[in-house]
Structure 1
Amino acid sequence: MNQNQLTHAHSRCGKIRHITAHDADEHAHNLTNWQQEYDQVSPGAFEGSIKELQLNGIQVFKEFTSQSVFQKCNVWSDSLWIGLPESKPEQSRINGHHLQSHQVMCRPGDIDFSLMTPSQFNIFGIVIDQSLLSNIEDSDYSSAQQFSLSECISLKAKTYNNLHYLLQRLLMHPHDGIPEKVCHDLLLLALHDVLTPESVNCLPPTSLKRRNQIVDLTLHYLKQHHDEPVTVTELCTLACVSRRTLQYSFESVLGISPAHFLRISRLNGARRSLRQATEQDCIADVAAQWGFWHLSQFAKDYKQLFGELPSETKHLYSTVN
């Protein structure tokens, strides 16, 4: 069942698509041409919204998520994404890398990356086709490959503030009557100031790369064995690391312990299955498929995280399924 609410606002600059959702993973699929999967981390009912504008090879959007979310993301091929958190940038992580003041996130298309974002989080995003980057001066520095090694770009305060103002203006004031061609040129000019030789790429240290590798390895294993009672000891053996190293890697990259992440991941997986369930499907069977053998404890943990019982989720979505 799709619980989205979709509206459009018209302006000379283009059609602004506004869509809301009440489920984290459903919200993840609302951003056009992105491949994403979201796991809700903080407890409570989820609210998400996206305002999105498409302009001839450039996508501009603002995303809001009410709860802390672990995001697995991949943007379309031959593109470059710039992400500018509007709130709590110091609490955001991209591939385990903490943002600092006046930094923006940066990832080329067709490359997997992860985000851990706090509750009540707003972020602006720009995705540009790589073919348009040749219109920007200093193209040797503005190709996606030049920025593929780092997750963050440090900007001058003026450049950062100008970019924030432009994105805020385009998405939050759609009736200003700015012609689409002018909007397009303004965005290219803004990216010219962002993608320059003066932009300091923040290369992750070797230690962070290693911690990311450990986390990625364990996440892949958990996905392949979600219906088995995987233990932290088993994950340590898999990654060939001590319990302390595994703990530190997860806390560094994701901000939570392996045991906590394991529980959160399984609960989110069970929720996805319940959203696809029919009236005939049994909640106990769904819980068991995700490694929850005690139904009462599963229901308690589920409600604590999502603010509703498994039966409520199943009923809400199965009426349409």
Structure 2
Amino acid sequence: MLNLLFLAILGIYIMFSQSATFDDVNQHAHSLQNWPQEYDQISAGRFEGFLEDIQLDSVRVFRERMKQSVVQDTHTPKGKISLMIPHHVEASDASEQARQILSSGITLLPYESDFSFVGPAQLDYSIVSIDQQTFAELLSHDTYTRLIGFKKSYGVKMDADMLNTLRHDLALLVYNLRTVNKTATYAKQLFKAIEDKIIQFALTIYESEETHNNSLKRLGNQHNYIVQRCHEYVASSEGSCASIVDICKALSIPHRTLNYSFHKATGTSPMQYLRAVKLNAAKRELITSGLSVTDVAANYGFFHMGYFSQEYRRLFGETPSMTRKRYADRV
């Protein structure tokens, strides 16, 4: 009976919990429930990802680790105010401003908006997402109104000691949630206390002097905008077969500007980035359609099958036929 009661309380206070590892970027992206997103792998090699996701009553905390550079396109969920805490963001040639996430501070995510960033090859971060009604009751009207008005990401710079303390405190709270094995009454009290601490953790950031004094740093700039325009163009039916020259002409972007923007926002060249975007789109079509490999390749401007297979294997660590077989075996 006690075990049943304990499980019932777990059901109330932990609405959802999962921890999993992934060898495929699409499976990793789609495993995050109620957080629509699509990932494109940019750096070459077999993908390795980890996701831990815990949903409490009004608080959600999830942690992601990835060992390849990935473009993350998402739409932040309705009715939630969210922030990103970096545990490890590998340094690269890309700038924090253009990348749209901070490695040296907290990133405040846009409210109910599209959000895209390019992660470095070694990325480890946590997202804290809290029901907006909770903040409506706890924050001043001005601060709350600002938060739900964010349609872009903003950065809160922190010194290294404070950032490490926040990382440690959050990791400890999540560890306590994972490992609780006490009585049902103790569990109920613990879950409520941890939820309150996480909310207070977020309030500390939203009410910090930098946030309160309107000196937040808006992330994203012209370089990021150019990369997003190019990404959207090559992902469209019109631009799926476009070359770099075609892209420059279609979007009226000088070639030198294109190269510099990709360097600042992604740490890589436009050719490498956009070829990877096309290969990721081809991979998704291989998985979801019955088209031949040749037809899928042609849909994205790859007309030489040897080159397509070579680049596909270089990026994903397997051939197109191996991808199809692997997904067929999992069904």
1:313 maps to 2:317? no
Q: Which runs of 5+ in 1 are unaligned?
A: 1-9
- Per the alignment, residue 205 of structure 2 pairs with 194
Percent of aligned pairs with the same residue? Answer: 29
Q: Which runs of 5+ in 2 are unaligned?
A: 1-9, 181-186
Query: How far is the alpha carbon of 1:203 from its aligned partner?
Result: 2.5
Query: How far is the alpha carbon of 1:89 from its aligned partner?
Result: 5.7
- Per the alignment, residue 55 of structure 2 pairs with 54
Q: Which amino acid aligns with 2:84?
A: G
- Per the alignment, residue 113 of structure 1 pairs with 115
- 1:268 partner SS: helix
String of CA shifts for 1:4-49, please: whole Å, max 9, x gaps: xxxxxx7996353112322112211111211111111111111212
Higher helix share: 2
- Per the alignment, residue 244 of structure 1 pairs with 256
Inter-partner Cα distance in structure 1 for 2:156 and 2:73: 20
Query: How far is the alpha carbon of 1:210 from its aligned partner?
Result: 2.4
String of CA shifts for 1:102-158, please: whole Å, max 9, x gaps: x11111332112121122321111011211112434452244236545431123555
130-139 vs 62-71, greater mean Cα deviation: 130-139
- Per the alignment, residue 24 of structure 1 pairs with 25
- 2:218 partner SS: coil
String of CA shifts for 1:246-288, please: whole Å, max 9, x gaps: 111122122222211121111111111122245xx42111111
String of CA shifts for 1:178-236, please: whole Å, max 9, x gaps: 622111110111111100251341124xxx63223322222222111377431222222
Q: 1:109 to 1:55 in 2, by over 3 A?
A: same
- Per the alignment, residue 175 of structure 1 pairs with 179
| Alpha-carbon RMSD | 2.6
- 1:1-321 equivalence runs, <5 A: 14=14, 16-88=17-89, 90-91=91-92, 93=96, 96-97=99-100, 99-101=102-104, 103-143=105-145, 144-145=147-148, 147-155=150-158, 157=160, 159-173=162-176, 174-176=178-180, 177=187, 179-199=190-210, 200-204=215-219, 209-225=221-237, 228-278=240-290, 281-319=291-329
Q: 1:69 to 1:226 in 2, by over 3 A?
A: farther
Q: Which amino acid aligns with 1:151?
A: Y
TM-score (norm 1): 0.85
Q: Contact conserved, 1:62 with 1:123, CA < 8 A, in 2?
A: yes
Q: 1:197 to 1:171 in 2, by over 3 A?
A: closer
Q: Which amino acid aligns with 1:194?
A: I
- 2:88 partner SS: coil
Inter-partner Cα distance in structure 2 for 1:215 and 1:169: 37
Q: Contact conserved, 1:94 with 1:113, CA < 8 A, in 2?
A: no
Q: Which amino acid aligns with 2:308?
A: F
String of CA shifts for 1:66-88, please: whole Å, max 9, x gaps: 21111112120232221111112
Q: How many residues align?
A: 306
Inter-partner Cα distance in structure 2 for 1:47 and 1:156: 30
Q: Contact conserved, 1:89 with 1:99, CA < 8 A, in 2?
A: no
Q: 1:146 to 1:282 in 2, by over 3 A?
A: closer
Q: Contact conserved, 1:83 with 1:106, CA < 8 A, in 2?
A: yes
- 1:76 partner SS: coil
Q: Contact conserved, 1:44 with 1:305, CA < 8 A, in 2?
A: yes
112-121 vs 11-20, greater mean Cα deviation: 11-20
